[in-house]
Structure 1
Amino acid sequence: MLGRVTIQQLQTFREVMRTGSISEASRVLGRTQPAVSAVIANLEGQLGFALFLREHGRLTPCPEAHYLLEEAEDILERLARTTRSMAEFANRQRGSLRIACHPAASGFFVPSLLAGFLTDRPDVKADLMMRSSQVVTDLVASQEYDIGLAETPSARTSILSQSWDLECVLALPAENPFPADRPLTPQDLHDYPMATLFDDHSTNQATEAAFARAGATLNRRFVLRTFLPAIQLVAHGMCASLVDRITARSCPKAGIVFRAFDPAIRSSVAILEPAHRPQSLLAQAFRAELARQLDQLERWVPAA
């Protein structure tokens, strides 16, 4: 019965074929001649026939040895390729990422982070999808996407999430009448044109409540679906807007300044991961970098 041929046997056999002698193969392999001779003898015993003619201290390969060499070269090359690929996976140098993010993060924040992450990873491919927070949540819940970044959703068993409760900042035209040495309040912004999100969004509701408590008028000149359009409106001097920090850090600064606002209006975002399949090492590394960037964003202090 044919025994199990080992990788070591194939490597030793290949070196004997390449060098033409047991002594030279042993030198290349860093093993003793008796050890190399024993490996070849065991291989022949498992195969059930001789691979070499041994005459006057010389080895002459049989026809079967040339066929086995072709097979051994193919097997060992595939093993070497697989070993290299596994090392690249271990070093996060190979693989793919599927990322879904909400609009605020899609224009600059996530693409910029992804570009930095992939700078030294030319063999990594990425699929970046921009959708509403609800759709991002569904994409991750489907277990088809590796990472999601969205407004914090309700708890779902199909998703793992980590949230950041980020304080919104006040975007103002660079030329504005407000003091620059303290956080601004609803009284400061009484009847000043504002861009807010739609009625049911939590940031708009919190803003309305803050103005009502202060007895100030909230002038909602622009009602938007996302924060991104507010940046252009503010830059053109048409309004102010309380925007999330991802939008604030992503926008061009020309024509805009940022101020703290009192009371704090918060926007919660979360990193989402599929709960029912393990993450690749590459996805774990990207998630760690995304979390680090959100930690930095949480600590960002706009000019008073």
Structure 2
Amino acid sequence: MNVRQLEVLRTLLVTGSTIATARAMGLSQSGVSRLLQQLEANLSMQLFARDKGRLIPTPEAEKLAYDAELVLAGIDRFTNLAQDLRSGAVGPESVRIALPNSLADQFTPDLLADFDRDFPRVRIETFFDTSGAITRLIEQRIVDFGFLRYEGQQSSSVELEVVVSGRKVCVIPAGHPLAGLDIVTPRDLRNIPLILTGRNRPTRMKLDEIFRQAGVTQTVKIETHSNNSAFSYAANGLGIAIINSFFAHLTKDARIVIRPFDPPLTQSFGLAKAAGVPLSIAAEALSRRMKHMLRNVEGPQN
């Protein structure tokens, strides 16, 4: 027994003929007859008597029709619910994401505005924190997914998909003498006030090693823990910031120029979620939009 057979039963009770039922259901007359025969065979009973081309429902058909209508109504509700879940009309109470502070002002508002056009009824909850805190939020399943640096290895309870990469660049005040260089090396930065991020992080330790190998002592004026603050400090003339190109190109500011740091030092970033835990349809849709927007940020290069 299948849904199509029940639909034939329901329509035949209204029309009284296979021709009218075929027209109403978009089937051939022989198709309607075949479905009816299959239903009668499955139930081991006759549902209609034939009388001069018309079908007369038996008392059994009349009784079964009521439950058939309930079954079909339930299937319609199920189908409509699935459609609403796909569109975000109903679904999880919220989609929860964790992002670094550097994405709070220049990236996330555009992401959520784009998502809201297709999922207007889904509530979004955003957490802005450090990479370590974001990892814990993912591990504890407090958030659906988060944006993380790729450090070469992750917690076994976290799955990370690398989405973008960038190299270290220098964010330089536009009027600074080094703004005229095509690339900037450690020797160019001797005795220059620097704005640095990520102290004790693997990429920062690699940067420090590059300076040591070049025989240049860093003149660190400001240590900060977010890329957007480093960018802002440089734009206000407090020094030259060395940050990842991905974050450097999130903001357009006429007060600064961006120049590659040499030798190249790259860093990858991605979206992470709890290992083995599928995302809801709404969370998956937001994840896809975020990947698309991340890849379209001007500047990141492998």
If the TM-score is normalised by the length of the shorter chain, which range does it land in? Answer: 0.7 to 0.9
Counterparts of 1:165 and 1:45 in 2: how far apart (Å)?
A: 63
Instruction: Give the corresponding residue for 1:134.
Output: 132
Query: For 1:17-73, what per-residue CA distance to the aligned partner results, in whole angstroms no more than 9, with x for missing partners?
Result: 333444321332355556645655765676688766877765666787666555434
Q: 1:25 aligns with which of 21, 24, 30?
A: 21
> In 1, are the aligned partners of 2:179 and 2:257 still within 8 Å (CA)?
no
> In 1, are the aligned partners of 2:48 and 2:55 still within 8 Å (CA)?
yes
Matched, 1:156 2:165: no
Query: For 1:215-240, what per-residue CA distance to the aligned partner results, in whole angstroms no more than 9, with x for missing partners?
Result: 44422221112222122222222222
Tell me the matched-pair count: 297
Counterparts of 1:156 and 1:298 in 2: how far apart (Å)?
A: 30
Q: CA 1:40–1:269 in 2, change beyond 3 Å: closer, same or farther?
A: closer
Instruction: Give the corresponding residue for 2:176.
Output: 176
Deviation of residue 12 (structure 1)? 0.4
Instruction: Give the corresponding residue for 2:262.
Output: 262
TM-score between both structures, scaled by the size of structure 2: 0.74
Query: For 1:141-177, what per-residue CA distance to the aligned partner results, in whole angstroms no more than 9, with x for missing partners?
Result: 3456443211224333222234455212111222222
Counterparts of 2:233 and 2:55 in 1: how far apart (Å)?
A: 85
Query: Which residue identity is paired with 2:224?
Result: L
> In 1, are the aligned partners of 2:196 and 2:223 still within 8 Å (CA)?
yes
Instruction: Give the corresponding residue for 1:249.
Output: 249
Instruction: Give the corresponding residue for 1:221.
Output: 221
Instruction: Give the corresponding residue for 2:12.
Output: 16
In the TM superposition, 1:110-121 aligns within 5 A as 110-113=108-111, 115-116=113-114, 119-120=117-118
- Any stretches of 5+ residues in structure 1 without a counterpart? none
TM-score between both structures, scaled by the size of structure 1: 0.74
Counterparts of 1:123 and 1:43 in 2: how far apart (Å)?
A: 42
Matched, 1:197 2:193: no
Instruction: Give the corresponding residue for 2:100.
Output: 102
> In 2, are the aligned partners of 1:143 and 1:275 still within 8 Å (CA)?
no
Counterparts of 2:31 and 2:266 in 1: how far apart (Å)?
A: 72
Q: CA 1:229–1:299 in 2, change beyond 3 Å: closer, same or farther?
A: closer
Deviation of residue 245 (structure 1)? 2.6
Q: 1:79 aligns with which of 64, 75, 79?
A: 75
Q: Which moved more, 1:96-105 or 1:290-299?
A: 290-299
Counterparts of 2:191 and 2:132 in 1: how far apart (Å)?
A: 33
Deviation of residue 242 (structure 1)? 0.8
- Any stretches of 5+ residues in structure 2 without a counterpart? none
Aligned with 2:155: secondary structure? coil
Aligned with 1:250: secondary structure? coil
Q: Which moved more, 1:53-62 or 1:124-133?
A: 53-62
Counterparts of 1:36 and 1:267 in 2: how far apart (Å)?
A: 64
Q: CA 1:64–1:274 in 2, change beyond 3 Å: closer, same or farther?
A: same
Identity of aligned residues (%): 28
Counterparts of 1:34 and 1:291 in 2: how far apart (Å)?
A: 51
Deviation of residue 119 (structure 1)? 4.2
Counterparts of 2:198 and 2:23 in 1: how far apart (Å)?
A: 77
> In 2, are the aligned partners of 1:99 and 1:147 still within 8 Å (CA)?
yes
Query: Which residue identity is paired with 2:11?
Result: E
Aligned with 1:178: secondary structure? helix
Q: CA 1:74–1:104 in 2, change beyond 3 Å: closer, same or farther?
A: farther
Aligned with 1:247: secondary structure? helix
